[in-house]
Every structure is written in structure tokens, then in C-alpha cells.
Structure 1
Amino acid sequence: MATAATDLAGIGSTISAANAAAAPPTTTVLAAAADEVSAGIAAVFGEHAQAFQSISAQATAFHDQFVKALNSGAAAYATAEATNVSPLQMLQQDVLGVINAPTEALLKRPLIGNGANGGTINGVGQAGGPGGILFGNGGAGGNGTNPGAPGGAGGGAGLIGNGGGAAGIGDGGNGGNAGIGNGGTGSAGAGGPSGIFGENGSDGLT
């Protein structure tokens, strides 16, 4: 709706500009000659042009109101959507927080969830975080931005999940190990081994 409103506003601006450009030569038509007939014809054309400009002004006002209505509708729709989504997201986070609290306290690793992607510290890529013990993909390794600096290894997956891919910039680390899933792809490094089911990750390009 917002995109449609923007498009309509652009069309309205173009039409208004065309009407403004046409107004001077059409509303003040000069008589072709000094006789009364020529003057009368010029006056008729001028009156028609003025009537057209008046109608165009009314159409422009209606167009502007329609665009405002579309923008208001888009804003109301977005607000309603955000209102509906937020409680569900909060509920999901609360439930996962309760489920993951024991394993995070004991093992510093969630039971369910994807591992965080590795960052870059002083130009060196950091390893991706491990996925949840039961279910989750390993995080991607961070990129090494300094010349020759290694990229971080992809994080290992849990029992079910895929190993995180290694970094794509710099000398990549190994792909993460998988549980029931595929090993992560290495970037200039070895692909991660698969778990019970799945395939080993591909080795990266050198």
C-alpha cells in the first residue's frame, strides 16, 4: 500500500506539472485577427481552458486525499501487524528462555537454538557459536579482514542441525561439525564432518 501511494503521488505530480505548463497558453488565447468573430472564438477557447483547469484542481485535491488515505491505511496495517507479531515473539523467547536456562547455566550452550555468528576482532575472524545441543545450526565463522588473517571456524551443530559455514574472507577456518545434518562448508579450509546422517561439508577454495 505504501508503494502504491508513492507511485500515485508521483503520477499526480507529473499531471499537475503538465497542467501548470499548459495553463498560460490555453487560458489566455489570443485572437487570430482584430474582428469580432476571432475575438469570440478566442474567448470560447479561453473559457474552456479555464474550466479544464478548475476541474483539474478538483481532481488534484481528490488525488491528494486518496494518496493520504492509502498512506494512513498502510500505517494502520503495519501497526496492527506489529501489534500481533510482538506478543508471539515475546512468548517464543520466554518459552525458549525457560527451556535453555539449565543447559546454558551448566554448559554455556542452549538446548534449542542456532549459534551466534562469529565476529571480527582486530582483523581476525572469530569462531561461530555452537548450535543448540538438541536442535540448531552452528553459527558462521567471522571474516578475517587483515591480510593473511584467518577466518573463524563455523560453529558445530547440535544433535539435529547443520554445521556453520566458515568465513568467506581471508584464510577460512574449517566448517562446523554436524549432528544429524550436513557439515558446514569450509572457506579455504576443510569442510566439517557430518554426523549420524548427512554429508561432509565441502572443502573451501584455496
Structure 2
Amino acid sequence: MSFVVAAPEVVVAAASDLAGIGSAIGAANAAAAVPTMGVLAAGADEVSAAVADLFGAHAQAYQALSAQAALFHEQFVHAMTAGAGAYAGAEAADAAALDVLNGPFQALFGRPLIGDGANGAPGQPGGPGGLLYGNGGNGGNGGIGQPGGAGGDAGLIGNGGNGGIGGPGRPALPVVPAGSADCSSATAATAVPADSVPDPSALPVGSAGPVEPPSGCSAMAGPAGPAGSARPASRAGPAAPAAPADCCTATAATAAMSHREPPTAERAVTPG
């Protein structure tokens, strides 16, 4: 045996719609009564008079049937309205009895003994069904970037609720181009051709002092190593312009000798 479910508010709305349809049909029948029941004869002869009488008789029969149909329609509307009221009264009485029965279980276990769980709000889980009998409530659908709510648990007899549908994902954040960071206008110093650098043998040998960092940079240059610890630099052609450097991570140039390294060891003094 299948269950019969009736929503009183839906039945009342349907009865109201039917009443409106009956009123519209009654108004149309009243407007058509005079011209159809009093058809004039097309001529003074007997045939025209007989045709007019025939049309008038059909119009009178139609009006009689319409009156009976309107009466039946009105009775049907009243029956639907009364049925909706009866369903609403029965549900109210049942709800009161169930509240008395389910009250202690709701207080102890957080769910009733008998009854279906309520559907969840958007993104929230559905309510659990009764411990003994009841279906779980459906989970609410999720909003933007939010998962849907889980379906409520069923009781000993019943079915669990359906989970809610997850919401659409959040829009992706815009990607900042790599060259648009701060200090992007700072560039490395232009390289000097190797031919224009003086011979390192003619330069004094000593420890390099601290070098001031470029303006806008927080990184300090590291201490320079001993002058005689590098290999002799080989002659090279003109160097290409250096690529733009990140001002916030680049260290300052140590000295004018950065484009040409000093010799490996101190120059030996030969006896005269």
C-alpha cells in the first residue's frame, strides 16, 4: 500500500483556483444567454422562424446544462476546501500527540522517537529522523565555495536524507605579473669593457672596505675576500648590458675591480 501525502495549503490553493475558474465560466454563460436564446428569424417565412426557434431551444438547453455544471463545480470546490481543513486539523492533533511522546527522547538524545527530520538550512546538515521510525532530513545546498550539508540520519526504520549540492567555486585571484614587483625600476650597473680596466698589478693590494648598498635596498654587501685569492682574469670582449636586477635582493658591487679579478698570488720580486 502506497502512502498518501496531502498538503493542506496546496489543497486550499487548488480550491481557490477552481472557484476562480467557475466564476469566469458563469460570467461567460451569462453574457451569451441573451443573444443565443433570443435569436431573431432571418425572414417572415415559416422556415426562418423554425430555424430561429431551433437555435433558441439549443441555447436554452445549454444554459440549463451550464447551471447544473456550475452547481456541481461549486459543490466540488466546497468539498476540497473542507478536505483541506480536515487534513490540517488531523495534522495538528497528531503533532500535539507526538510532541508529548517525543519530548523526553528529544531532551535525552537530541532527536525524537518518531518523526522525520527537518531539512537543513543552506550549507547545513539535515535533521535526524526518529530513533524508532523516521526519515532523515535533506542537507541544505551550499553557497559560493561552500559544500552542501550532509543528509540527516534515519531511525531504525526509515531512509537517510540526501546530501545538499555543493556551491560553485570561488573565482580565482588575479595573477600578478613577475615584472610588476616593487623596486622593478632598479637595474644593475652597466658593465665596463675589459679593455678599459687598468692592470691589476698596478693597483695597490689591500682589504676592501665596506661598500654602501644602493638606494632603496636593505641587503648589505658581504665582506670582500683577500685580494690575492682569485685567479688572474683573462682578457674579454665588451660585456653585454646586465639584465635588470631585483633591487630588494641584489648586493652592491664590491669595487671597480668587479669586472676584472686580481691575480692569483702576489707578484714575486726577483733579485736584481
SS at match of 1:55: helix
CA offset digits 1:59-83 (Å, max 9, x no partner): 2320221121111220232244335
**Residues 1:96 and 2:98 are matched in the alignment:** yes
Q: Structure 1 regions of 5+ residues with no counterpart?
A: 30-41, 172-206
**Residues 1:143 and 2:141 are matched in the alignment:** yes
The aligned residue for residue 28 of structure 1 is 42
- Runs (4 or more) in structure 1 with deviation over 6 Å come to none
Q: Identity percentage over the alignment? A: 39
The structure whose residues are more often helix, as a share, is: 1
Shift of residue 98, structure 1, vs aligned partner: 0.7
TM-score, structure 2 as length reference:
0.44
The aligned residue for residue 163 of structure 2 is 166
In structure 2, C-alpha distance between the alignment counterparts of 1:50 and 1:137, rounded to whole Å: 68
1:9-158 equivalent positions in 2, closer than 5 A: 27-28=41-42, 43-120=45-122, 125-146=123-144, 148-158=145-155
Shift of residue 166, structure 1, vs aligned partner: 0.7
> Highest CA radius of gyration, 1 or 2?
2
SS at match of 2:74: helix
2:138–2:162 Cα contact (<8 Å) kept: yes
- Which one-letter code corresponds to 2:147 in the other structure? P
TM-score, structure 1 as length reference:
0.57
In structure 1, C-alpha distance between the alignment counterparts of 2:146 and 2:47, rounded to whole Å: 78
Aligned residue pair count: 143
**CA separation of 1:71 and 1:169: change in aligned 2, threshold 3 A:** farther
Shift of residue 114, structure 1, vs aligned partner: 0.9
Q: Structure 2 regions of 5+ residues with no counterpart?
A: 1-17, 169-272
